[in-house]
Amino acid sequence: MNNTLSIQSGIYKGKKVLVPSSVKGNSNFTSALLKKSVFSILDSFDLQEKISLSESLFIDLFAGSGQMGLEAVSRGFKNIVFFELDKNRFRSLKEFLPTIRKDFILLHRDSFRYYDAFEKEEKDSLVFYIDPPYSFWEKDSDKIHRLTMNIRDAFHDRKLILLVQSPKNPNWENFEVRQVGNNTLLVSESFI
């Protein structure tokens, strides 16, 4: 773990995030341009008073390095929930995250099965960031789509934003498509 990424903005601006080793040759991390785009969208929703970042949970379903969740909390999100299934990346996050922030939720679980494993009683807005390894899109794009639909169904009574990073446009209904460099960002929101 010699490489690092930097938190771009907020209270942890400039802090380094360790890049964990690749899993089965997959080490696709969110680019600075895409990260900037994601948080520009979220800042816009906050400015329009559709959500309040300070009352929102940021849930990163495929945490990897943890950079997106740390960026979110640095920019004012109430808290972060990280899901990481790979045991080496999970161990790395477990050791590294407390060096930046003590208050977070880290789950060693499969996102496809346990995305609702945190307190449903809380009434905070939820922002789900979904960036599975790009190899999943080749063989399991339907599974990723079902995951997003399950999240929508499970949290239909909450303010909800789904942000899905994809290598290409999967042409899903009810998602706004934004091309960011070589990546596609799918955005769906519900502001009840």
Q: What is the CATH number of the domain that holds 186?
A: 3.40.50.150
Number of domains the chain is built from = 1
Q: How confident is the model at residue 170 (pLDDT cuts 50, 70, 90)?
A: very high
| pLDDT score of 136 | 84
Q: Between β-strands 176-180 and 183-190, what pairing exists: parallel, antiparallel or unpaired? A: antiparallel
What pLDDT does 102 receive? 86
Q: For residue 174, what are the contacts with CB-CB under 8 A and spacing of at least 6?
A: 188
Q: Which residues contact 116 (CB under 8 A, 6 or more apart)?
A: 151, 154, 155
pLDDT in tens, 13-46: 999 988 876 655 555 578 889 999 999 999 999 9
50-91 tens-digit pLDDT? 999 999 999 999 999 999 999 999 999 999 999 999 999 999
pLDDT of residue 169: 93
Which domain does 61 fall in, by range?
A: 4-190
